[in-house]
Structure 1
């Protein structure tokens, strides 16, 4: 059985994490647009504790990080919608995990922007 998207998004365990993820995505794009400038040239794209900076690239490549977040949202909510009629708990869990994923994405982007400042 397939649930209509209108019924699916009325579930608070689905819609509240989606609202949080959308707000985080808006923050990520605005934060990057105002802090990463096109005249930056080469910027740090990855940093780890052991090796330090291990990936340097063009300024526009940092926008792939929130773009990957959009892809994760679309795929996760599509599969969650497909699973909702079979197992509501798993569909709700997937919606919660995408919010958890985006919190770490936000932390990573904030740290990368501060590293490049």
Structure 2
């Protein structure tokens, strides 16, 4: 398997633009949670279902699993994207855009959880 130079890989705007967007959304997620979730709260709501209402509660620090999962998705997808960039640029770019799409839905979920716990 032949890897492209990381400089060449990240110079592709179809790769670097979604990464920049995902990093900005990631910064918003961390800022939103740190600013709005108090650490002295014992139990917070972690999941809300429209039919059953709140169906998962937990400790305040467990809400930080959401942006942490976002970081893991960024790393995994960009490693996979870099690995297949030489063979199929379209699929590599599709993986890069999927990260941004995933983070937009993650931001919606975090926004709703912050509003639910306010």
Matched, 1:38 2:39: yes
| Alignment partner of 1:112 is 2:113 | yes
* Equivalent position SS for 1:46: strand
Unaligned runs of 5+ in 2: none
- Whole-Å separation in 1 of the counterparts to 2:3 and 2:74: 20
Runs of 4+ in 1 over 6 A off after TM superposition: none
Q: How does 1:11-90 map to 2 (within 5 A)?
A: 11-90=12-91
State the secondary structure of the residue aligned to 2:62: helix
Tell me how large the CA RMSD over aligned residues is.
0.5
Number of residues of Structure 1 aligned to a counterpart in Structure 2: 117
CA distance in 2, matches of 1:86, 1:29: 35
Superposed displacement of residue 48, structure 1 = 1.2
**For 2:93 and 2:51, how far apart are their aligned partners in 1?**
36
Q: CA deviation at 1:50?
A: 1.3
* Structure-1-length-normalised TM-score: 0.98
Aligned to 2:99: 98
Shift of 1:42: 0.2
**What per-residue deviation string (whole Å, max 9, x for no partner) do you get for residues 52-111 of structure 1?**
110000000000000000000000000000010010000000000110000000000000
Mind listing any 5+ residue stretches in structure 1 that lack a counterpart? none
Structure with the largest fraction of helix: 1
The yes-or-no answer on 1:8 pairing with 2:9 is: yes
Query: If the length of structure 2 is used for normalisation, what is the TM-score?
Result: 0.98
